[in-house]
A = this chain, B = another copy of it.
Amino acid sequence: MSHMGSTDVTGLAEALAPGMVVTDPDILGAYRFDRANDPDAGTPLALVRPTTTEDVQTTVRWCAANGVPIITRGAGTSLSGGSTAVDGAVTLSTEKMRNLTIDTATRTAVAQPGLLNAEVKAAAAENGLWYPPDPSSFEICSIGGNVATNAGGLCCVKYGVTTDYVLGLQVVLADGRAVRLGGKQLKDSAGLPLTKLFVGSEGLLGIVTEVTLRLLPPQAPACTVVGSFSSVRAASEAVLAVTAQIRPAMLEFMDSVSINAVEDMLKMGLDRNAGALLVAQSDAPGPAGEAEVAIIEQAFARCGAGEVFATADPVESEAFTQARRAAIPAVERLGALLLEDVGVPLPALPDLIDGVEAIAAANRVLISVIAHAGDGNTHPLIVHDPSDADETARANAAFGQIMDLAISLGGTITGEHGVGRLKKGWLRDQVGDDVMDLTKLIKSALDPAGLLNPGVLL
């Protein structure tokens, strides 16, 4: 099998619409990296920007016939290197696959993968409906990428992750056949649960060309409770005090580094002296919501919150949610980031956060921790200067140690970003040899030549 950059893509270009295959080096250069900024990124042999399932089939068949691997790319926002280019491989970008229909009768959206999460949300809202999954990057990440990684977000603590909303898929398999899985029916036990197998499979088993998503009635207006704490330990214990009693609609954590980085960027009046901040929401209606807000306030106070602020004002609420969403870009201003996505069973959250602090000290690197705390999913952000070889080495050491810590606490190396290229060295440590074998058996059955997203996960 030859993966040489010299493979002639003329045949592919002729089989697709004019302009759909791009070999201009300047354009290819823009498709080398995703947001993981992998220094080992290659350069695409060619960029293909299909618009239909048939275009994807044509591309896959040509690649299969010529032994050319395919990297599928959504909006290029992968934080784990899931869409990093590989030398000699075609990069298939779904950015021009943007059809969307909202069906209010079945309460479903049928979306091509290149649509942004925010566009699906907006179209649902225009029809009086709600698509819940809300990665912090929802304004720039694609639905196809969300499906590939089983993306989560802020509301997932109450409303679940992407897989909970995927009712059906169209998928182009490694041999070019297109299959339809599931559909608009809300319950379906017919055959193996193949729809679920593809959600979170990081593009290893097929290329998703259409997604049928379940929509909900609109979310009730939420009340927001913000608590500032002197220590990360106190805040993480407050998380457990809340989740032991209720299921909040949001429960987010920011440490002092991220608070200050966001305040530098947004200047919204966050407490720069806080050791940690929790942002919680209840969307239970009426008195039930008031009761939940009281439970959150009391839990925060009991765990030592210095200040607790509650608001039902949607503008104020959104400001705090935006502050949390802005944390990654804000901390990124301090230096390059190695971005973790480790998760643990909830009671282990304080130990995880303490342990990250110890790892930062031991490796003399700055690590800012933000978290979807209500479901135990944290994002330690390891700040470093890539031009400083020693600091970069220490950052890389910390990156591995944090995953080792999460595994030792019975948790996961990735809660919502996927393994991609950056975390695959730790996957075996988490799941064990037999699960790795099982993974390879399924990969080999569905993609025997290994053409789909080589280098990801395995």
A29 within 8 A of B: no
- Whether A161 and B187, one on each chain, are in contact in the complex, defined by CB atoms closer than 8 angstroms, is yes
- Encode A429-455 as 1/0 by CB contact (under 8 A) with B: 011101100110111111000000000
Bound-complex Cα distance A173 to B204 (A) = 22
A216 within 8 A of B: yes
- Whether B200 and A197, one on each chain, are in contact in the complex, defined by CB atoms closer than 8 angstroms, is no
Segment among A6-14, A224-232, A283-291 that sits at the interface with chain B:
A283-291
A180 within 8 A of B: yes
Segment among A94-102, A266-274, A415-423 that sits at the interface with chain B:
A415-423
- Whether B217 and A414, one on each chain, are in contact in the complex, defined by CB atoms closer than 8 angstroms, is no
CB contacts (< 8 Å) of A200 on chain B: these are 189, 192-193, 196
- Whether B412 and A189, one on each chain, are in contact in the complex, defined by CB atoms closer than 8 angstroms, is yes
A209 within 8 A of B: no
- Whether A192 and B247, one on each chain, are in contact in the complex, defined by CB atoms closer than 8 angstroms, is no
Bound-complex Cα distance A287 to B173 (A) = 50
Bound-complex Cα distance A240 to B104 (A) = 11
What is the distance, in angstroms, from A284's C-beta to the closest C-beta of chain B? 6
- Encode A385-417 as 1/0 by CB contact (under 8 A) with B: 000000000000000000000000011111111
A15 within 8 A of B: no
A163 within 8 A of B: yes
Contact of A189 among B150, B183, B193, B220 (CB under 8 A): B150
CB contacts (< 8 Å) of A414 on chain B: these are 188-190
What is the distance, in angstroms, from A330's C-beta to the closest C-beta of chain B? 23
Bound-complex Cα distance A179 to B173 (A) = 27
CB contacts (< 8 Å) of A288 on chain B: these are 220, 284-286, 288
Bound-complex Cα distance A446 to B180 (A) = 22
Segment among A18-26, A39-47, A117-125, A340-348 that sits at the interface with chain B:
A340-348
A457 within 8 A of B: yes
- Encode A264-302 as 1/0 by CB contact (under 8 A) with B: 000000000000000000001111100000000000000
Most B CB contacts (10 A, CB to CB) among A104, A188, A245 go to A188
- Whether B435 and A194, one on each chain, are in contact in the complex, defined by CB atoms closer than 8 angstroms, is yes
CB contacts (< 8 Å) of A286 on chain B: these are 285-288
Q: A189-B414, A189-B416, A287-B285 are in contact. Are A438 and B442 (CB under 8 A)?
A: no
- Whether A435 and B179, one on each chain, are in contact in the complex, defined by CB atoms closer than 8 angstroms, is yes
Q: Which residue of B lies closest to A435 (CB)?
A: B179
CB contacts (< 8 Å) of A156 on chain B: these are 187
- Whether A432 and B217, one on each chain, are in contact in the complex, defined by CB atoms closer than 8 angstroms, is no
- Whether A347 and B105, one on each chain, are in contact in the complex, defined by CB atoms closer than 8 angstroms, is yes
CB contacts (< 8 Å) of A204 on chain B: these are 192
Bound-complex Cα distance A177 to B409 (A) = 24
- Encode A79-110 as 1/0 by CB contact (under 8 A) with B: 00000000000000000000000001111100
Q: A184-B345, A410-B183 are in contact. Are A191 and B457 (CB under 8 A)?
A: yes
Q: Which residue of B lies closest to A406 (CB)?
A: B185
CB contacts (< 8 Å) of A5 on chain B: these are none
A164 within 8 A of B: yes
Q: A105-B347, A106-B345, A432-B180 are in contact. Are A412 and B173 (CB under 8 A)?
A: no
Bound-complex Cα distance A179 to B286 (A) = 46
A149 within 8 A of B: yes
A69 within 8 A of B: no
Bound-complex Cα distance A247 to B130 (A) = 12
- Whether B192 and A439, one on each chain, are in contact in the complex, defined by CB atoms closer than 8 angstroms, is yes
A427 within 8 A of B: yes
- Whether A187 and B376, one on each chain, are in contact in the complex, defined by CB atoms closer than 8 angstroms, is yes
What is the distance, in angstroms, from A236's C-beta to the closest C-beta of chain B? 14
CB contacts (< 8 Å) of A411 on chain B: these are 183, 185
CB contacts (< 8 Å) of A457 on chain B: these are 191-192
A111 within 8 A of B: no
Further pairs besides A178-B434, A189-B414: 4, Cβ < 8 Å: A187-B343, A189-B412, A193-B196, A196-B196
Question: A residues within 8 Å of B by Cβ?
Answer: 104-108, 149-150, 152, 156-157, 160-161, 163-164, 173, 177-181, 183-194, 196-197, 199-201, 204-205, 216-217, 220, 240, 243-247, 284-288, 341, 343-347, 372, 375-377, 410-419, 423, 427, 430-432, 434-435, 438-439, 441-446, 457
The 6 closest A-B pairs by CB, nearest first: A285-B288, A196-B196, A445-B445, A187-B415, A184-B345, A186-B375
